[in-house]
Amino acid sequence: MTSGTTPGGELPAAATSGTAAAALAVPPWFRAVVWDSLLGALCLLLPIPLVDDMLLARMRRRMVERVAARWQVTLSPAQLALLAGGSRRSFGRFLLKAAIYPVKELLRKVLYFLAIKDAVDTFSLLFHQGYLLHAALSRGALGRSGPADDAWVAATAAAVHGALAATDTRPLQRLLLGVLRNSRQLLRATVRWLASRLGGRRDAAPAVTALADEGATRQQLGSPEAEQLLDRLLLALWGERGYLDHLDAELARRLWF
């Protein structure tokens, strides 16, 4: 915690205004990737055992769709699944989560720590995939418009996933954890807002898609806390130029052209 934070770990109003102003300088495509990553991570903090996993899978596909659409590239369902990657969470993991859900109040502090760690891991995965995919498409990996070639999609997926596998993501995860620790009140308020927007529905995919589009295209999300949390993450991640340059270099080594 810096000397400018308040006792609850939050920044004062003046610092919050400065953060929001600085976040406007971040490129729109980067904002979209960070927002999709945050939304996917927050799904893991929802108090519904099954819905969070379904929403996470939806967010992974939606991120790929958004990045491809930016370059007017059309993907088939199979190509979309390949670029989005497989399921990160097993059925056994879901059963464990469902089993401990009834006693969550007894284990609240332990579960909260584990949930935050899981959310950071998920944010990291989504962010790296989105950033690397955008970097690949900006280099013309799938052409500039129209349907994508299967061979090019397979090669691009291999390059993206290979670059991620070769990268030590722990520094970025520590950065994310630090931002969330210093934004506890914002995080809790954002999760409550997300839960209220989804309304506890099991068919929440349309609402998640709408939220993803809102965060990528509008500054006003309808939640001041969500906006502040997004702005903090934008500045923290965009400022890691050395790390981002390393990702670009790892990807460039694996592209075939």
- Answer whether residue 187 is part of any domain: yes
Residue 4 counted as domain residue: no
Distance CA 83, CA 97 (A): 27
Quick check: is 8 in a domain? no
pLDDT value at residue 36: 92
Q: pLDDT value at position 113? A: 67
Q: How many domains are there within the chain? A: 1
- For 4, phi then psi, to 5°, come to -90, 0
Spatial contact of 89 and 166, defined as CB atoms under 8 Å apart: no
Q: Domain range holding 244?
A: 13-254
Instruction: Please check whether residue 218 is in contact with residue 226, taking contact to mean a CB–CB distance below 8 angstroms.
Output: no
- Predicted confidence at residue 19, as pLDDT, reads 65
Characterize 12-25 residue by residue with b for buried, 16 or more Cβ atoms within 10 angstroms of its Cβ, and e for exposed: eeeebeebbeebee
Position 3 in a domain: no
Are 237 and 127 a contacting pair, CB within 8 Å?
A: yes
CB 237 within 8 A of CB 34: yes
**What is the predicted pLDDT for the residue at 2?**
38
Instruction: Let me know if residue 52 belongs to a domain.
Output: yes
Examine residue 7 and state whether it is found in any structural domain, yes or no.
Answer: no
pLDDT at 165: 95
Confidence (pTM):
0.82
Tokens of 28: 């729109």
d(CA 219, CA 215): 7
Sign of CA pseudo-dihedral 114, 61, 178, 7:
negative
Q: How many residues does the chain have?
A: 257
Count of CA atoms in the C-beta half-sphere (13 A) of 154: 3
Q: What pLDDT tens digit does each residue of the chain (257 aa) get? A: 333 444 344 544 444 555 666 667 899 999 999 999 998 898 888 766 555 567 777 888 889 999 999 999 999 999 999 999 864 444 444 444 555 455 554 444 455 667 788 899 999 999 999 999 999 999 999 998 899 999 999 999 999 999 999 999 999 999 999 999 999 999 999 999 988 887 755 566 677 778 888 777 766 788 999 999 999 999 999 999 999 999 999 999 999 87
